[in-house]
């Protein structure tokens, strides 16, 4: 076999990919027929593919690369840490400086009394940790029956058996025997798709009150926790009405149910604050983190927990952990990511420059005849496509056919926008400039126009 490098022709790379590589969330036979798009390098907001196309990444891959691609400091820190201490574990009463420093930094950044971090390698692993942690917490407090967890339909919390069960996506549940027992799903606060004739405020309140109904149905003494993304990402950037989160928090407090905010997408600036919980005004007991923690440069996630939870958990041996919990190279890279965010005042850039430019561009895209509305919070947005704006109608195909067409037109115009059903999803690098946002808007308009034309 020849050495496989960037220099091989695209068709050869695609054939090898199809022969040996099973892709996540992909019909691999379909991909083999079409050939994978092969990304060879990236810099700033642009990807380069194996045919030399320069593609603006308005999804930062999978909502990860907040700093943009190719920050040299990140590679330098990784190399330094590789040479100094490439790996050591954090089990059995040992620790190392990168994990200590990152946990301390996260305790400083996280709101309230969220001062303790349990590291994982990904968001899925961190949510598996949460599942076991909240059950163990209540058991330690003498209430082992307080073990049920309530989540939402169409939530995404990962794809391991535990985190996939916490999530509320039926197409995930259908494979592999999920959800596992003890996990329940209430309605999501998606007014655009499900709000009918109600005002967003009334709908938000009604959806939050489903939590109270579910707690009363199960018995509060049986409910350990509620988990939710402050803003659902993979579900289609669902921005809850303003009435939703305050009511959820009130209900959690009333029934002594722990509140877990899954910040895997919303964390680290995506919504214009360090954490999405701050944007929606809640004080969770646990936050799940990953993705933007390292800007995706290294795989790392974790759970940041309150003083109260840590005090209870620290009194027992929690028989849980991952070989790569707090991996020194990943921790060093995450720490460097946070250092750069602070030193370059990324939050200031988002609030004063990127957000106003992005929101103005989206408002304009919202005038397109195909775009029903603009859902946006900070630097995450979705544009639901519709045949009729006023009635919020869905396309007859309502399974993502039109969204898929639009995504393909985005690719053809050197733009990455993802589709969730018939919603186009936008999550650009947080470092994006107004000029780059103009490029995004111009390419998105071409893709929307081409989709509109196809539908005629």
From the list 78, 110, 90, 123, the residue with the least C-alpha distance to 297 is 78
Q: Which is nearer to ligand PLP, 167 or 195 (CB)?
A: 167
Minimum separation from the CB atom of position 121 to ligand PLP (A): 8
Q: Are 350 and 378 in contact (CB under 8 A)?
A: yes
d(CA 253, CA 257): 6
Q: What is the DSSP string of 361-405?
A: HHHHHTTSTTB---EEETTEEEEEB-S-TTTTPPPTT-SSHHHHH
Q: Does 234 bind ligand PLP (CB under 6 A)?
A: yes
Binding track, positions 205-224, relative to ligand PLP; x by CB under 6 A: --------------------
Q: Does 264 bind ligand PLP (CB under 6 A)?
A: yes
From the list 143, 237, 156, 227, the residue with the least C-alpha distance to 190 is 237
Q: Which is nearer to ligand PLP, 183 or 441 (CB)?
A: 183
d(CA 51, CA 40): 9
Q: Which is nearer to ligand PLP, 276 or 384 (CB)?
A: 276
Q: Are 125 and 301 in contact (CB under 8 A)?
A: yes
Number of H helices, E strands in the chain: 18, 15
Q: Does 123 bind ligand PLP (CB under 6 A)?
A: yes
Among 124, 375, 386, 413, the residue binding ligand PLP under the rule CB under 6 A is: 124
Minimum separation from the CB atom of position 140 to ligand PLP (A): 25
Q: Which is nearer to ligand PLP, 156 or 203 (CB)?
A: 156
Minimum separation from the CB atom of position 303 to ligand PLP (A): 11
Binding track, positions 282-301, relative to ligand PLP; x by CB under 6 A: --------x----------x
Element (H or E) spanning 191, and its range? Answer: helix 191-194
Among 262, 285, 336, 436, the residue binding ligand PLP under the rule CB under 6 A is: 262
Q: Which is nearer to ligand PLP, 265 or 406 (CB)?
A: 265
Q: Does 157 bind ligand PLP (CB under 6 A)?
A: yes
Q: Are 241 and 203 in contact (CB under 8 A)?
A: yes
The number of C-alpha atoms within 13 Å of 309 and in the hemisphere containing its C-beta is 29
The site that binds ligand PLP (CB under 6 A) totals a number of residues, namely 16
Binding stretches for ligand PLP (CB under 6 A): 62, 122-124, 127, 156-158, 229, 233-234, 262, 264-265, 290, 301
């Amino acid at each position: 076999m020849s050495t496989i490098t960037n220099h091989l022709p695209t068709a050869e790379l695609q054939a090898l990919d199809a022969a040996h590589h099973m892709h996540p969330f992909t019909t691999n036979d379909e991909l083999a027929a079409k050939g994978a798009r092969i990304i060879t390098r990236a810099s700033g907001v642009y990807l380069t593919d194996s045919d030399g196309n320069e593609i603006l990444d308005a999804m930062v891959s999978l909502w990860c690369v907040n700093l943009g691609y190719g920050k040299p400091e990140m590679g330098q820190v990784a190399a330094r840490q590789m040479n100094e201490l490439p790996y050591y574990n954090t089990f059995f009463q040992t620790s190392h400086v990168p994990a200590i420093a990152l946990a301390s930094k996260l305790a400083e950044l996280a709101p309230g009394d969220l001062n303790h971090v349990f590291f994982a390698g990904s968001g899925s692993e961190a949510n598996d940790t949460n599942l076991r942690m909240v059950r163990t917490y209540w058991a330690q407090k003498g209430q082992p029956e307080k073990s049920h967890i309530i989540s939402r339909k169409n939530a995404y919390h990962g794809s391991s058996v535990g985190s996939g069960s916490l999530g509320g996506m039926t197409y995930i549940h259908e494979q592999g025997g999920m959800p596992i027992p003890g996990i329940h799903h209430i309605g999501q606060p998606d007014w655009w798709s499900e709000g009918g004739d109600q005002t967003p405020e009334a709908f938000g309140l009604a959806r939050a009150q489903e939590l109270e109904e579910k707690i009363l149905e199960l018995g509060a003494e049986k409910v350990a926790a509620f988990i939710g993304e402050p803003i659902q990402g993979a579900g289609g950037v669902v921005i809850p009405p303003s009435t939703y989160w305050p009511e959820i928090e009130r209900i959690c407090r009333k029934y002594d149910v722990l509140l877990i905010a899954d910040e895997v997408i919303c964390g680290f600036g995506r919504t214009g604050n360090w954490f999405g919980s701050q944007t929606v005004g809640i004080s969770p007991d646990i936050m799940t983190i990953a993705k933007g923690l390292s800007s995706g440069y290294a795989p790392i996630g974790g759970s940041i927990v309150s003083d109260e939870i840590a005090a209870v958990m620290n009194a027992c041996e929690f028989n849980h952990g991952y070989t790569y919990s707090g991996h020194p190279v990943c921790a060093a890279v995450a720490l460097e990511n946070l250092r750069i965010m602070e030193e370059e005042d990324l939050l200031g850039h988002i609030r004063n420059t990127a957000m106003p430019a992005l929101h103005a561009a989206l408002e304009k895209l919202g005038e397109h005849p195909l775009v029903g509305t603009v859902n946006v919070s900070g630097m995450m947005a979705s544009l639901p496509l519709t045949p009729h704006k006023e009635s919020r109608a869905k396309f007859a195909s309502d399974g993502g056919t039109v969204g898929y067409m639009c995504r393909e037109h985005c690719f053809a115009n050197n733009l990455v926008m993802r589709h969730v059903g018939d919603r186009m999803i936008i999550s650009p690098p947080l470092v994006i400039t107004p000029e780059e946002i103009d490029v995004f808007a111009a390419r998105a308009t071409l893709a929307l126009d081409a989709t509109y034309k196809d539908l005629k």
